[in-house]
Structure formats: C-alpha cells, structure tokens
Structure 1
Amino acid sequence: MNPHHHALFIGGRWVAPASDGRITVLGASTEAVLGSVPDGSEKDMDAAVAAARAAFDDPDGWAAWEPARRADALYCLAEALERRVEDITRVVSAQNGMTIGLAQQVEGALPAILLRYYADLIRNDPGEAVREGMLGAPVHVRREPLGVVAAIVPWNAPQLLSATKYAPGLAAGCTFVLKPSPETVLDSVLFAEAVEEAGLPPGVVNVVPAGREVGAYLVSHPHIDKVAFTGSTAAGRQIAATCGTLLRPVTLELGGKSAAVILDDVDLGTAIGEPFVQATLLANGQACFASTRILAPRSRYDEVVDAVSSLVGDLTVGDPLDPTTQIGPMASARQRERVEGYIEKGRAEGARLVVGGSRPDAEKGYYVTPTVFADVDNAQTIAREEIFGPVLSVIPYTDEDDAVRIANDSEYGLGGTVWTNDDERGMRVARRMHTGTVGLNHYTVDPAAPFGGVKSSGLGREFGPEALLNYQQVKSIYT
C-alpha cells in the first residue's frame, strides 16, 4: 500500500482535503516514518457530516432499507475487510506496537465477526412489535435508527474499537463519521477502501483523521445525532458535558483500573500462565480492562509475588512484527514517558520494584520492560490511576471480604478477574465486584456479551444485542 495518502473518504469518494495539514505516523518499534494522511479540518468535518446527513435523510436510502438488505451489505463489508487482513494487521502492529499475533485476532478477525453478528441479528427483525394497551387499543412500538453518528476511536485497538460502533450502528440504519486517532490513521485508509469496495451507499460511512480540537468540533456539530467514544476518562467527561448540554445521546467506553483477585485456594502453577498474561498485560498493558491490580492473600503473598514476577520477567520483549514477541513497545514516545513517570511515582511512594522498571537494550522503539511492584497499598498512585502500560501492582488482602473491598475501592469499574480452583466461590466473588465485566480464571471479551463499565469507566454497553439499542430510538404509535 502507498504509505502517503492525499485524500479523505467523504460521501463515497476520495476527495481533496480543505487544508494542507498532514498527520505523520512513526513506527512504535522503529521511530521511523511509516506514512502520512491529510489532517482533517472543521471544513472537512462539515463535508463529512453533510454527506452522512444526506445519506440518512434519503427517503429511499440506508435507513429505509429492509433489514435483510442492510445485512447483506454488512456481509459484503466483512468480506472486503477480510481481503485486507494481512495489510491491516501489519500496519496496526507497526503503528501502535501491538504484537502481530494479537493484531491478527483483534484487529484482523473481530471486525468481520462483529459485522456478521449484527447482520444476523437484524436480518429477520421486523423492528416493530404490537402490544396490548392498558386502555383497550393495541400499541405499535417501533425501534428506529438514531441518525448520524460521530464515532471517535483511540489508538490501542483502532479497527476493533471502530467496529464496536459501526457494526451495530450500521445494522440499526445509522450513518457514520469516523474520526480515528492521529497515532493510528494508516489502517483507517484500508478500512475506507473496504467500505468503497463493499458498495455501501455514498455517505453512509465517512472517514476523517483529525486531532483533538477537530474531534471536539465534531462532537458539538449541530447535525450529529449521537456520539460514540472510546478513550480516556478525562476526554470522556468533556464529551459527556458537551452532549449533556445538547441533550445528545452518547456512549462512553473509558478507562479502567481493574483488579485480579487471586483467592487463597488457587493453584499458582496452573493459574499464573498465559491466560494471566492476557488478562493483565494484553496489548503491552495498553488495554482499558487490564487487571493491573493483583490482589494477593497475605497468607500466600510471597508466593504470588514470586509467581507473577517470574512469569513477567520471562516475557519476550521485542519487535511486534516478530511472532515470538510477547511484549512490544508503547504506542508513542509520549506514552512511554507517561508509563515511566508512573514507575518513578511507584518508587517514590515506597512500593518495592521486583521486576522491570527500565528500558530494554534496544536502539530504537518506545519500549518499557514489563514491571511488577510489590508491597503496594491501594491508596498509592500506581494503584489508583490508569497507567496504560505494562506495570502490575501486587496488593495484599486479609480475607475474601477485604479482597472485594479493595477491588471495589476504585474510581473505575470496567473489568476484573477472579483466580480460584473453586468456580462456585469464584462466581460468588465475581458477583460482588462493582464492575461491568469479570473473567473467571481468564479474561476474554465475547462479542455476544455486553461490554462496558460503571463509575468513571463509562456509560452504555458495546457488544451483544444490547449495543443495537445505542443506535436506536423507540417510537410508540397509539391506535
């Protein structure tokens, strides 16, 4: 693919941008230029929103199509994406440091899976039900598409997190303006090419890479009907404030500081393995749901610290495009500086550094060695704030009630895990955790199950049938 692009995908066509600004992407492992795209402006966003608005308002257009026809179109988009899987996974991995094996699963496979899942959900759905009214006459209850959606996605899993929005939204009949993060814009070109190949009507999906200020302009645009955002809690609060003022529907998938509760009955030799790495350090620790607070029973605290430290210390750090690599670089120099700042705070506040805490011997790349702190108090900064990097904090607890208390003592509530030999006991603890999702002896997001958080981790749910409701409004017709 050509690494340098000079047009934006708006209204079903590749059009010249309104300004000459550029977004240049550096490789996370090489720090070399990977490519560039136009830096979208407010005028570009106006054009994209106008195209999406026209596509939605067309009386014979996307929103008016029979569900089965939209479902067929989503299958076509899934196939077009699958023809680009190799390019998509390699460019995502090069941009943000995600290991190639993970990129193949998350960025390559899941978007098509989600498209087909929502296509199948709507294919035979009439979108309307008749209820017996309490006053003697039937009531028709319709679910209709909300309208034009502003989808704003981050850099850590750009293709999957785009799909969590457009797959249910397109199925519902909405149209989209997608704004990818400046750190991962090259894959968005491949996505736009797939949309073009799939033959979706002009304006149904528009892609405009841009920075934060233009993103804020999109959120407040008068012709946007709904905002779907994944990113930091701080940015989410600003978006929520704007949407609250405008009375505009919004879904927010935000930060996390999840707990891995290791119960005292666990077989550490079995539990602390690859599933544990996936639950705590997925995407080099750049995953919002990662269980980075490791809660260990005091009766086995030293055992847990040794097991976790041994596992983390043996992980292979290297080139994310090498299939043997387990931990790649941070996505950017700024992100590496953020993670290193938290490591220094951990040291300064008295936590004991057991493994990592430095840069590996690499001439280039935004690497941080995976890090484990022991003797961490849940009040310390590294246990309170989202680091978004490969840093684990092992926190002691006295009994099951204390473990649940510590797990719930957080501003966030997105993910979490329980590790035990007793599934019934694990389910009991999981039910007491104040969080949107919990994994038992592993953590895997399932497309059929709702995903999202409580407290400062966001509003609304993605995945599952529930996500369709994010893009629909309900109308009652009294007869």
Structure 2
Amino acid sequence: MTPNGVHIDHPDRLFIDGAWVPATSGRSFEIVSPNSEEVVARVAEGCAQDMDAAVAAARRAFDHGPWPRTAPRERARMVAELAKALRARSEELENAWIEQIGGLPGMARGVVATGNRSFADIAELGDRFPWIEEVAGETVDSAYIVREPVGVVAAIAPWNSPYMIMANKVAYSLIAGCTLIMKPAPETPLEAYIIAEEAAKIGFPPGVLNLVTADRDVADRLVSSPAVDKVSFTGSTAVGMRIAQVCGSRIARCSLELGGKSAAIIRDDMPTGEAAQLLGTTITRLSGQICAMLTRAIVPADRHDEMAEAIADVMRGIKIGHSREEGVQLGPLAMKRQLERVESYIEEGRATADLVHGGQRPAHLNKGYFIEPTLFANVDSGSRIAQEEIFGPVLCLIPAKDEADAIRIANDSNFGLHGSVLTKDADAAFRIAREMRTGMVGQNGMRTQPGMPFGGFKQSGIGREGGAEGLLPYIETKSILLDGRPSDAALGN
C-alpha cells in the first residue's frame, strides 16, 4: 500500500544483496498522514535477522566484490545515472514527502530538487576528486597519497527530510566505493524504497546498496555491528550521543548531523517590520521541524516589546491547514508524538516566559496534528524552551543589553548548527558571524547553499556534509612510498 501519486513495486519487501526479499518478521509499518490521521502506506518491518543479512551482504560486497575496486570514473558514471533516474521520479518523491509528514507542495519541490542536485553534484565531484595524488619523494623515489573507501556504511536518515538527507549519504558512499545499508526512519521510508528501486534497475553489484526499514532496536544492532566500518547519522542529539558511544567503543568512524537551537541576532539597523516578517514566517517552514531552524531571536532590550508585537501580528496572519490546501503557510506536525512533544514545551514556556501568541491547536481543524505558530517573549536564555530543541513552530524572543550580550546569549547553548544576523551591514554580519560558535551563519535568514559544508559545533554534531568536505568522512587516506615509479596502468591512468 502506497499513497496516491507514489508507485513502489515492493513495499512489502526489503532490498538485501541485490534482491527484494520478504521481511522475516512478516510485520509491517503503517505510515499515517499527519493531515488526516489515516493510514496512507504500509511497508515491510525488518527485524534483527534481516539487518544481519544486509550487513553480511554489504560486508561481502566490500571485501570481495568489484565495487570498491571499480575505477572512480565508472563509479561516477553509475551514480550520475542514478541521479538522472531519481530526477525522473521527482513528482513521486514530492508526493511521498507531502503524504508522510505533511510538508507543503512548494517546499516539497525545493527539498526534492536539492536531493537530486546532491546526487548529480557528488557524481561530478567523484569524477574529478584526487583519488591518487603524487607528492615529491624525499626519502624514496616516488610517493603517493591514496584515498580509499572507508568500508561498510550504515546510512541512517531522519523523518523530516528523508530524501535530501539520504541522497547525500548514498551518493557519498557510492562515489567513495563503499557499500551501504540504508536505514530510513520508519515514519518516512518511501524515498529510500525509490532509491533502492532505481539502483536495482541500474545494476549496482549485489550487496552494494541495501535497504532495511526498521525500528530503533534493530538500528542499534546495525550501529553496533563490528562489520560496519562507519555510521552516517542525521537525527537527534540524544541518539547521536548513543551512536558516538557505540562507535567509540570499537573505534568505528561516525559522522553525526544532530540538533540545533539556532539564534538570530537582530541589530539596531534592522527595521522591526522586516525582522518580524522574516522570523514569523521562517518558523512556519516545515512546521518548525528543521534542525537549523531559527528558534531564538535575540533583540536589543529597548526594542523587545515592539518586536514581540510585530512578530505576533505576522503570526496572526499565518494560514494553517491541510498541506495541499491553497494558500496554506503552516501544515501539520509530522506525527502525534511530535505534537505532544511540542505541546509539553509550550506548557513549560507558559510557566517561565510570556506567551504572546499561539500555543493552541487550531479550533477549525478537528483532525490532524496541527499547532498554532507560537511566540514566547521575555525568555530567559537559561530556560528549557531557550536551551532545548523543541522541533516545532515555537519562537523564543530574548532581550539583550548590547551586541556583546547578544553574541554571548547566542553562544549560550549546547548546540551550534546555524545562526543568522539580521542587519543591513554586511561587514557587521561577517564580524558577528565570526564570533558565533556555529557551523553556518546567514545574513538575514536561515540560509544554506548547495555544495557548501553543513554541520555543527558542540552537540550539533561531528563532521560535515556538502562539497568535498562531505566526501572526506567516507574515505581513508593511505600513504604509499616506493623505490620506483609504478606504471600508468597501475595508477589507473
């Protein structure tokens, strides 16, 4: 069973060792629409035995199969072919995202297009990357730096942006010559099925790419497996800490893109209306369920009250409704447990800050996981709503004494994923950005750019995705020192 507009040949199976196989458990996951609370899809539920089979297949494919030994140019060609095939299914990928988590169609197009571009860009990167680099030999006749695949990769993606994030992990793994096991979130597995289908059609060798949809206990088995060389995880910091501990216990490689509590510093030269419009509409993107979301707005104390009223006024004009309804700006939260989580933080905020707007389920919607855009003012930087990732459309307005105090407050966080400086002065934006302990800073918005490194400081993660920096965690570096120069054939020229 799959949603309208999404065709998957084998939703009742897993993809292991080049074949679609039944799940050993015989069970399935139900995918519930956050708009209607109705089941829109069912997919196979993998168990420990299935995961063990997928890991064993990936291990064989890496140790004995042709893929790690395939010329980088040929790997790049096949990844480019996969990118083209997935681009042809863009509409299905968009529909899958909308139906699974209630994303808006306009954003769905952008999210899928970004995932498609990642595949294509990484394929192109693989074609020009210096896999073998000759350096001057000082103690020997010739010396080489060789970049080789890290091994078997566990690619674990979250539910909020499953295609875009999994696309990075799959493309980097394949271009590096790794083999991998895709483990999507059980709430959003459809995109991974589409990736596996197209990879199977193109003819990647058996075991190179595997798919097991599974819950957390089976994912833990994947992460803990000694046959897995690297874990690439995007998700919550709590789970990331567990993965880091497990990988550390066996010195396995891991890259972790985790949570955020990103700050927007509002300078005095930024007009109140412009700042309010930017902040009040940004918080509605994907219902606030974005790790880089600007959830803390830091404003000069003497402008606090006017800024609070201006943001509240913007929020009053936000149209809330079904994802596909015309003109809707704020759709549902992705699932019931996420709605309950956001409501629990709102209750916490009522006790520690001033609720200026929102905080309720919309009265006109009696089905679906909807919540109003919510603004808290006079927020203490040390409070839970200012320190913990809520992952919903909840904005905290925090007063600051001056610019130095604003920077201090922005850095008063265990997270460091994103940030923004709201100003007309690019020099000031650059200067303040250099003071912010965060992996990315945009002037006047939650800005990103394809191909640039993305990742966080502190508890927002380890490593980067995007561009050449994103490929490095999938590679081991080897130095080779020789008494003579190898032939061009040996070098792959």
Q: Distance in 2 between the 1:332 and 1:291 partners? A: 21
What SS does structure 1 have at the residue aligned with 2:397? strand
Q: Distance in 2 between the 1:323 and 1:65 partners? A: 49
| Within-5 A mapping of 1:44-193 | 44-58=50-64, 61-106=66-111, 108-135=112-139, 137-193=141-197
Q: Which residue of 2 aligns with 1:196?
A: 200
For structure 2, list consecutive stretches of 5 or more residues without a partner in the other structure.
Answer: 4-9, 483-493
1:246 aligns with 2:272: no
Q: Distance in 1 between the 2:187 and 2:240 partners? A: 18
Deviates more, 1:122-131 or 1:137-146: 122-131
Displacement after TM superposition at 1:283 (Å): 1.3
Q: Distance in 2 between the 1:278 and 1:40 partners? A: 39
| Within-5 A mapping of 1:41-440 | 41-58=47-64, 61-106=66-111, 108-135=112-139, 137-273=141-277, 276=279, 279-322=282-325, 324-349=327-352, 351-360=353-362, 361-440=364-443
Q: Which residue of 1 aligns with 2:486?
A: none
Q: Distance in 1 between the 2:359 and 2:231 partners? A: 38
- Cα–Cα, structure 1 residues 436 and 124, in superposed 2: closer, same or farther, change >3 Å? closer
Q: Which residue of 1 aligns with 2:35?
A: 29
Q: Distance in 2 between the 1:45 and 1:400 partners? A: 52
Displacement after TM superposition at 1:278 (Å): 6.3
Q: Which residue of 2 aligns with 1:476?
A: 479
Indicate conservation of the 8 Å contact 1:259/1:291, yes or no: yes
Indicate conservation of the 8 Å contact 1:358/1:368, yes or no: yes
Displacement after TM superposition at 1:301 (Å): 1.5
Q: Distance in 2 between the 1:393 and 1:68 partners? A: 49
Displacement after TM superposition at 1:282 (Å): 2.5
Q: Distance in 1 between the 2:339 and 2:283 partners? A: 18
- Cα–Cα, structure 1 residues 82 and 242, in superposed 2: closer, same or farther, change >3 Å? same
Q: Distance in 2 between the 1:75 and 1:316 partners? A: 40
Indicate conservation of the 8 Å contact 2:281/2:314, yes or no: no
Indicate conservation of the 8 Å contact 2:93/2:191, yes or no: yes
Residue 63 of structure 1 aligns to which amino acid in structure 2?
A: P
Q: Which of residues 7, 13, 23 is equivalent to 1:7?
A: 13
Could you give the per-residue CA deviations for residues 258-315 of structure 1, whole angstroms, max 9, x where no partner exists?
A: 1011111112333443x54565442110011111001011122222212222222211
Residue 256 of structure 1 aligns to which amino acid in structure 2?
A: G
Q: Distance in 2 between the 1:140 and 1:191 partners? A: 35
- Cα–Cα, structure 1 residues 142 and 277, in superposed 2: closer, same or farther, change >3 Å? farther
Deviates more, 1:86-95 or 1:29-38: 86-95
Could you give the per-residue CA deviations for residues 100-151 of structure 1, whole angstroms, max 9, x where no partner exists?
A: 2111111x21122011111111213351112224435432110000111001
- Cα–Cα, structure 1 residues 186 and 366, in superposed 2: closer, same or farther, change >3 Å? same
Residue 35 of structure 2 aligns to which amino acid in structure 1?
A: S
Deviates more, 1:352-361 or 1:94-103: 94-103
Could you give the per-residue CA deviations for residues 363-412 of structure 1, whole angstroms, max 9, x where no partner exists?
A: 21011111011111101111011000000000000111000000000011
Q: How many residues align?
A: 475
What SS does structure 2 have at the residue aligned with 1:327? coil
Q: Distance in 2 between the 1:238 and 1:158 partners? A: 21
Cα RMSD, aligned residues only: 1.6
For structure 1, list consecutive stretches of 5 or more residues without a partner in the other structure.
Answer: none
What SS does structure 2 have at the residue aligned with 1:77? helix
Q: Distance in 1 between the 2:377 and 2:188 partners? A: 34
Displacement after TM superposition at 1:478 (Å): 1.3
Q: Distance in 1 between the 2:365 and 2:92 partners? A: 26
- Cα–Cα, structure 1 residues 171 and 277, in superposed 2: closer, same or farther, change >3 Å? farther
Q: Distance in 1 between the 2:53 and 2:103 partners? A: 33
Q: Which residue of 1 aligns with 2:488?
A: none
Q: Distance in 2 between the 1:442 and 1:375 partners? A: 22
Indicate conservation of the 8 Å contact 1:45/1:218, yes or no: yes
Q: TM-score, normalised by structure 1?
A: 0.96
Could you give the per-residue CA deviations for residues 53-81 of structure 1, whole angstroms, max 9, x where no partner exists?
A: 2222235x121111221111111111211
Q: TM-score, normalised by structure 2?
A: 0.93
Displacement after TM superposition at 1:418 (Å): 0.6
- Cα–Cα, structure 1 residues 268 and 19, in superposed 2: closer, same or farther, change >3 Å? same
Indicate conservation of the 8 Å contact 2:118/2:450, yes or no: yes
Q: Distance in 2 between the 1:124 and 1:323 partners? A: 44
Q: Distance in 2 between the 1:258 and 1:345 partners? A: 19
Residue 90 of structure 2 aligns to which amino acid in structure 1?
A: V
Indicate conservation of the 8 Å contact 1:281/1:290, yes or no: no
Residue 224 of structure 2 aligns to which amino acid in structure 1?
A: S
